[in-house]
């Protein structure tokens, strides 16, 4: 809703992309449900959706370019090997890649022949900190080398990594503004590196606070009853959801506005810079069993 409001309220186009590169997680019926959820909320988009898994040639070409230019290299390490080589880390931290395979092989074929394994591809991450600008958070710096290290752009099972795919397909779809959850802020720094290596311009990044439960943890997978699909099937009025999001995002809105109703007065500057908490009142407002 926020991405749609921010683009549409300024006359922008909205493109839809289905990021279904993870074959195990992206079942066709789930994709169908996602599209229906968006329509239920009253959102629309320009042109047909791009199904990432259906058009992987540009992703493969980008990998080839990175490899040929020396910006990426083949890596045959398993997760267990990387974990064993790294210093102990706190549980929730990502283990930075120690650079084991950097400079070992010139080509994927050499790596495959020498190791007997199917290689992935990693981006060469420079030691300098990476500066990005977020429209809400301002200028930020990330130590990508120290926190993540050379990261995968193609996994060993052949799947293209999110950090590569999002950058290549944003460019293909002409995306100039990306509005998403602020859990992806540090990803923007990695994407800035991939963009630079591919000679692509950066989009404007707008990272917005997440909706959390009262325990301060993200709602995502824990409250299945509050999933859009569950609310839709329970007969909840989608305008109740739109209204809750609009008011939570600091916008003036009636109790039951349509997504389009909010456009006329939408202003991202009113967005609170703290996570939104969906407490009992919000749940009552949205949840099944209330008046419809």
Q: Does 72 bind Zn ion (CB under 5 A)?
A: no
Our measurement of the distance from residue 272's CA atom to the centroid of its chain's CA atoms, rounded to an integer in Å, reads 21
# of chain residues touching Zn ion (CB under 5 A):
4
Whichever of 61 and 113 has its CB closer to Zn ion, that residue is 113
**C-alpha distances in Å from residue 32, one per residue of 28, 74, 229, 281:** 6, 36, 11, 30
CB of 97 to Zn ion, least distance (A): 7
Span 212-231, contacts to Zn ion by CB under 5 A: none
Per the structure block, which two tokens stand in for 212? 């959390």
Q: What's phi and psi for 272, nearest 5 deg? A: -60, 145
Per the structure block, which two tokens stand in for 233? 């099937």
CB of 128 to Zn ion, least distance (A): 22
Whichever of 77 and 124 has its CB closer to Zn ion, that residue is 77
CB of 22 to Zn ion, least distance (A): 21
Stretch touching Zn ion by CB under 5 A, among 19-27, 37-45, 77-85, 87-95: 77-85
Span 139-168, contacts to Zn ion by CB under 5 A: none
Distance (Å, whole) CA 257 – CA 238: 9
Stretch touching Zn ion by CB under 5 A, among 46-54, 70-78, 201-209, 244-252: 70-78
- End-to-end, the C-alpha distance of the chain in Å comes to 21
Whichever of 155 and 223 has its CB closer to Zn ion, that residue is 155
Per the structure block, which two tokens stand in for 18? 């289905």
The 86-125 site mask, x for binding Zn ion (CB under 5 A), equals --------------xx------------------------
CB of 102 to Zn ion, least distance (A): 8
Distance (Å, whole) CA 291 – CA 285: 9
CB of 116 to Zn ion, least distance (A): 14
Whichever of 118 and 134 has its CB closer to Zn ion, that residue is 118
Query: Could you tell me which of 162, 72, 85 has the C-alpha nearest to residue 120?
Result: 72
Task: Give the CA angle between residues 203, 46, 12 to the nearest 5°.
Answer: 45
Contact 19, 52 (CB under 8 A): yes
CB of 85 to Zn ion, least distance (A): 9
Residue selected from 77, 123, 178, 194 as contacting Zn ion according to rule CB under 5 A: 77
How would you classify the pairing of strands 177-181 and 204-208? Answer: parallel
Whichever of 111 and 226 has its CB closer to Zn ion, that residue is 111
Contact 59, 165 (CB under 8 A): yes
Residue selected from 2, 62, 75, 167 as contacting Zn ion according to rule CB under 5 A: 75
Handedness of CA 215, 43, 200, 155 (dihedral sign): positive
CB of 77 to Zn ion, least distance (A): 3
Which residues contribute to the site for Zn ion (CB under 5 A)? Answer: 75, 77, 100-101
């Amino acid at each position: 809703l926020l991405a749609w409001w921010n683009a549409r309220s300024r006359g922008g186009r909205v493109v839809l992309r289905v990021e279904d590169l993870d074959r195990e997680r992206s079942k066709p019926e789930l994709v169908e449900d996602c599209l229906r959820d968006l329509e239920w909320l009253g959102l629309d988009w320009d042109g047909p959706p791009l199904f990432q898994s259906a058009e992987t040639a540009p992703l493969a070409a980008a990998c080839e370019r990175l490899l040929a230019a020396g910006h990426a290299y083949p890596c045959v390490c398993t997760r267990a090997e990387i974990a064993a080589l790294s210093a102990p880390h706190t549980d929730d931290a990502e283990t930075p890649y120690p650079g084991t395979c950097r400079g070992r092989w010139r080509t994927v074929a050499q790596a495959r022949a020498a190791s007997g394994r199917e290689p992935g591809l990693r981006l060469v991450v420079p030691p300098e900190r990476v500066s990005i600008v977020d429209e809400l958070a301002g200028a930020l710096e990330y130590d990508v080398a120290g926190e993540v290290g050379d990261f995968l752009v193609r996994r060993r099972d052949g799947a293209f990594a999110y950090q590569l795919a999002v950058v290549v397909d944003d460019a293909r779809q002409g995306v100039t503004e990306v509005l998403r959850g602020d859990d992806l802020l540090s990803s923007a720094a990695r994407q800035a590196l991939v963009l630079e290596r591919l000679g692509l311009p950066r989009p404007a990044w707008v990272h917005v606070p997440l909706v959390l439960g009262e325990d301060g943890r993200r709602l995502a997978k824990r409250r299945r009853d509050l999933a859009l699909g569950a609310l839709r099937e329970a007969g909840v009025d989608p305008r109740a959801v739109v209204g809750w999001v609009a008011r939570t995002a600091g916008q003036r809105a009636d109790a039951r506005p349509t997504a389009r109703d909010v456009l006329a007065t939408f202003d991202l500057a009113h967005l609170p810079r703290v996570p939104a908490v969906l407490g009992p009142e919000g749940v009552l407002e949205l949840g099944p069993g209330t008046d419809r």
